[in-house]
């Protein structure tokens, strides 16, 4: 299927400064929001505590639910509606973990029925200890960081034939991160420092294709997390899965563009680098738009029809696909032009 006619010549590279400015604004807003909110709003998976999902047979007010729980002396952190309004389902979050949850479930059920006068059903109970939540947070950060390092090895090997050099660099960084983690260094700060050092090393060793891909992926993940913080959505394990999916999707799109750039560098080696990069983006534009649109249709269907359980997961994918498509055109490819300016 041909979505865009051959020979189209949109000046994407000519607008790269505007795109860089837009990306920087989005990143600053994302980081600023995270700083103001003191990080993402962690769900039970990462924060620890107890989550109880309840379903009422009729309509109730959140204040009635809270008043019913006060008699149990539960440290309720939040009560929010779950799913559509007609379902009358609510999520109750507490910072404590009852020793006997079976007995506690019966107490919650009786207390809520007395406070609201409506029959209630306990649909789901989840408990995560604080130490388990901390371990899950750290493992999630390690997963995303190591994924980026492995991507560096793959990109450098495929496009620049630097398998050995990139492998040694990645192994050295991973070893340093592992040793520092054993010294009880704060994992979030360790990951941030390691990421900055990695980018400097990639620049020094001239992993130009890997540098473009990694910067684009960091751009995508940062903005996606920032949008979650802006909309005050929970950060849970399914969201980590969504971020890793976004990394894979955005990387695939970037590799298609990079592959065409490499081919055109051989065919049009006398042309300026700016012309070659812009031509390559235009030649892959039809494929990029079609892939993004078809994927968005499926994810949007999940977002609308999938229910509350995967609502945030599908929302993260929708944001990531849009940002990832944008970054493949306006972030990853223009990074290659920075190397041309550096060499000059």
Q: What are phi and psi of 54, to 5 degrees?
A: -125, 155
Query: Tell me, what CATH number does 101's domain have?
Result: 3.30.70.100
pLDDT at 263: 92
Q: Residue 3 falls within a domain, yes or no?
A: no
Q: How many independent structural domains does the chain possess?
A: 2
Half-sphere exposure of 10 (CA within 13 A, CB side): 14
Q: Residue 319 falls within a domain, yes or no?
A: yes
**Residues 189 and 245 occupy one common structural domain:** yes
**Average confidence (pLDDT) per 10 residues, the chain, 344 residues:** 71 91 95 90 84 88 82 70 83 72 74 86 82 83 88 89 90 88 82 86 86 92 94 89 92 91 89 91 90 93 86 94 94 82 59
- The pTM is what? 0.88
Structure-derived torsion over alpha carbons of residues 284, 151, 46, 139, reported in degrees to the nearest 10: 170
pLDDT at 122: 87
User: Residue 311, Cβ neighbours under 10 Å: how many?
Assistant: 17
Q: Residue 5 falls within a domain, yes or no?
A: no
Which class for 320: exposed (0-12), middle (13-18), buried (19 or more C-beta within 10 A)? buried
pLDDT at 76: 60
Query: Tell me, what CATH number does 212's domain have?
Result: 1.20.1640.10
Domain edge (last residue) among 93, 128, 163: 128
Residues 6+ apart with CB under 8 A from 45: 128, 133, 136, 236, 237
Cα of 195 vs its chain's centroid, Å: 16
Domain edge (last residue) among 128, 155, 170: 128
**Residues 201 and 326 occupy one common structural domain:** yes
Residue 232 DSSP SS3: coil
Residue 252 DSSP SS3: helix
**CA-closest candidate to residue 322, choices 218, 223, 244:** 223
Domain that holds residue 204: 13-43+131-343
**Residues 82 and 25 occupy one common structural domain:** no
**Residues 283 and 152 occupy one common structural domain:** yes
**Residues 171 and 269 occupy one common structural domain:** yes
Q: Residue 217 falls within a domain, yes or no?
A: yes
| Alpha carbon distance 282, 285 (integer Å) | 5
pLDDT at 184: 79
Check: CB of residue 316 under 8 Å from CB of residue 239: yes
Q: Residue 8 falls within a domain, yes or no?
A: no
Q: Residue 302 falls within a domain, yes or no?
A: yes
Domain edge (last residue) among 77, 105, 128: 128
């Amino acid at each position: 299927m041909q979505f865009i006619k051959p020979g189209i010549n949109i000046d994407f590279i000519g607008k790269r400064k505007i795109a860089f400015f837009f990306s920087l604004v989005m990143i600053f807003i994302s980081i600023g929001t995270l700083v103001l909110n003191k990080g993402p709003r962690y769900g039970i998976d990462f924060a620890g505590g107890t989550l109880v999902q309840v379903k009422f047979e009729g309509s109730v007010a959140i204040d009635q639910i809270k008043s019913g729980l006060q008699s149990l002396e539960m440290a309720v952190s939040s009560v929010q509606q779950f799913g559509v309004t007609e379902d009358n389902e609510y999520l109750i979050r507490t910072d404590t973990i009852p020793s006997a949850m079976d007995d506690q479930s019966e107490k919650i059920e009786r207390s809520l029925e007395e406070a609201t006068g409506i029959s209630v059903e306990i649909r789901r109970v989840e408990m995560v200890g604080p130490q388990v939540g901390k371990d899950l947070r750290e493992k999630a950060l390690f997963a995303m960081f190591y994924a980026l390092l492995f991507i560096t090895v793959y990109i450098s090997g495929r496009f620049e034939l630097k398998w050995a050099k990139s492998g040694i660099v990645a192994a050295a960084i991973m070893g340093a991160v592992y040793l520092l983690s054993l010294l009880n260094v704060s994992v979030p700060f360790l990951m941030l420092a390691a990421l900055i050092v990695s980018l400097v090393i990639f620049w020094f060793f001239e992993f130009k294709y890997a540098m473009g891909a990694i910067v684009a992926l960091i751009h995508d993940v940062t903005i996606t997390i920032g949008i979650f913080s802006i909309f005050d959505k929970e950060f849970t394990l399914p969201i980590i899965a969504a971020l890793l999916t976004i990394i894979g999707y955005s990387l695939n799109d970037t590799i298609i563009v990079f592959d065409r750039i490499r081919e055109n560098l051989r065919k049009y080696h006398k042309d300026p680098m700016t012309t070659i990069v812009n031509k390559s983006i235009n030649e892959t534009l039809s494929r990029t738009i079609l892939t993004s649109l078809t994927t968005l249709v499926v994810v949007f269907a999940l977002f609308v029809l999938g229910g509350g359980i995967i609502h945030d997961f599908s929302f993260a994918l929708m944001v990531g696909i849009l940002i990832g498509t944008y970054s493949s055109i306006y972030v990853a490819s223009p990074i290659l032009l920075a190397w041309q300016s550096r060499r000059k």
